[in-house]
Every structure is written in structure tokens, then in C-alpha cells.
Amino acid sequence: MTRTYEVWYFLWETWRGVSPLAESSLLVLLSMFLWTFLEGIERVWIYGAAVRQSRNFLRLAISLLERDDRDAVLALAEARRRSHVATVFASGLRAFRSARTCVSVERSIDIGKRAARIERNSVHEQLRRGLNLLGTIATTAPLVGFFGTIIGILDSFRGFIGSHATWIAMTANSIAEALVCTAAGILVAVPTLWCFNWRRDRLSILDAEMAIASLELAKYLERFGVRA
């Protein structure tokens, strides 16, 4: 308990002693960390919902596709709007059914495939939103912390009247306080980089699942489209 109090007291005293520019760098790092934390929670929920609804959709849609029950498949897909797979299926089936009333079967199949590809690209952009900013934060956070450290070190060499030993002690203390900015930059960059790599890996998996869904939809339309 005493050790924890000492740590918090040291951080508080460090915060009080930093220069305004170094303080600004710490505030920027804090905002980066908060954004990364909230974005990570949101994406875990979004990706988890997409996976759960997609698994549920595929489990129920297999038998419906075998019976060529398009209306039931479309209703099933539209009820699972957070599913990336169901969204691709719904877009392709909806476009095929609309085009079938006015153009040939072959043309309707092409329209359905094209709608599925467009929807796949749209869902991809939605899922990757914020990924570039995560990469930027992971890259720049150590630099922001290093900037605060440089400002703190420069501030430690300001004029001082007193004994040489006292000046050395104050300078060493100021440099130690300035290094907190570098440590904070690294502490922000490491989890941000983890989150970036995790999101990139998950996005590649979701993209592969949407690509497979597009291929399965094309196979289904070519096989059963003539019965429309």
C-alpha cells in the first residue's frame, strides 16, 4: 500500500513539475490512449457480433439454399445486419431478384455478382475504419513522448543560482521527470500496435469469409438462377 502511494505521489509531483510543452505532449498521449482503448472495445464488439451472426446465418441458410428458398434466405440475411456474410448474400440476392423482372437470367446473375462485390467492398471499408489512425498512433506515440522528454531536458538547463551540487541534483531530477514522457509514449505505442495487428489479422479473415460468400452466391445463382 505504501509503495503504491509512493508511485502515485511521484507521478503527481512529476506532473506538477513538467513544462507546459511537456505537459501538452502527455495530454496528447493520454488522448491517444483513450481513443485506442475505446476503439478497441468497439471493434471487439463489432467483430464479435459479425462472427456470431454469420455463423448463425450459415447454419440456417444451408438447408434453405438447397431447397432454393430465396425469400427465406433473403429474410434470414436481412435480419442479421451485423453479419458481413449475410450482408453480402442479401445484397446479391436482392439485386438478382430485382433484375430478373426486366432482364435475362444471365444478365441478372451478373448483376447479382456485381452487387455482392460492391457490398463486400463497402463492408470492408466499414470494418477497417480507424485502422490507419491506429497505425499512425503506434508510430507517432514514441515520437510525441520523445518530444516531451527533449523539452523537459532543455528546461532543466535553465539558469540557477546556488551550489554546484544543488544544481546537479535539480538537473538530474528534471531529466528523470522528463523521461516520464518517453515512458508514456512507449506505454501508449505498445498496446496500440497490438490492437493494430489484431484488427489487421481479423480484417483479413473477415475479407476471406466475404470472398468465399461471394463465390458461394455466384455458384448458387448459376445453379438455381434459371428456375427464377
Domain limits at 105? 20-132+193-227
Burial of 227 (0-12, 13-18, 19+ CB in 10 A): exposed
**What pLDDT, in 10s, does the model give residues 1-18?**
555 555 555 555 555 555
Distance of CA 45 to the CA centre of its chain: 11
Examine residue 168 and state whether it is found in any structural domain, yes or no. no
Residue 171 lies in a domain: no
Residue 65: predicted pLDDT = 81
Residue 162 lies in a domain: no
Asked if residue 36 is part of any domain, the answer here is yes
* Listed residue (106, 115, 187, 196) closest to 144, CA to CA: 187
pLDDT tens digits, one per residue of 116-145: 999 999 999 999 999 999 999 999 999 998
Which one, of 46, 78, 88, lies nearest residue 207 by Cα? 88
Assess contact for 192 and 137: CB atoms under 8 A: yes
pLDDT for 43? 93
State residue 136's pLDDT score.
94
Give pLDDT tens digits for 33-73: 999 999 999 999 999 999 999 999 988 888 888 887 888 88
Q: Is the dihedral angle over the CA atoms 216, 128, 53, 114 positive or is it negative? A: negative
9 part of a folded domain: no
- Radius of gyration of the chain from its Cα atoms, rounded to whole angstroms: 28
Give the max Cα distance, the chain.
96
**What pLDDT is attached to residue 221?**
84
Q: Check if the beta carbon of residue 130 is closer than 8 Å to that of residue 39.
A: yes
Residue 156 in domain:
no
- Look at the chain and report how many structural domains it folds into: 1
Residue 220 counted as domain residue: yes
pLDDT, one tens digit per residue, over 146-174 is 888 887 777 666 655 555 555 555 555 66
Across residues 74-86, what is the average pLDDT? 89
User: Who wins on pLDDT, 7 or 195?
Assistant: 195
Q: Which long-range contacts (CB under 8 A, 24 or more apart) does 23-28 make?
A: 24/148, 25/144, 25/145, 25/147, 25/148, 25/151, 25/181, 26/148, 26/180, 26/181, 26/184, 28/144
- Whether residue 149 lies inside any domain: the answer is no
Region 24-30 average pLDDT: 86
Residue closest to 58 by CA, chosen among 83, 81, 94, 82? 83
The whole-number pLDDT of residue 173 equals: 60
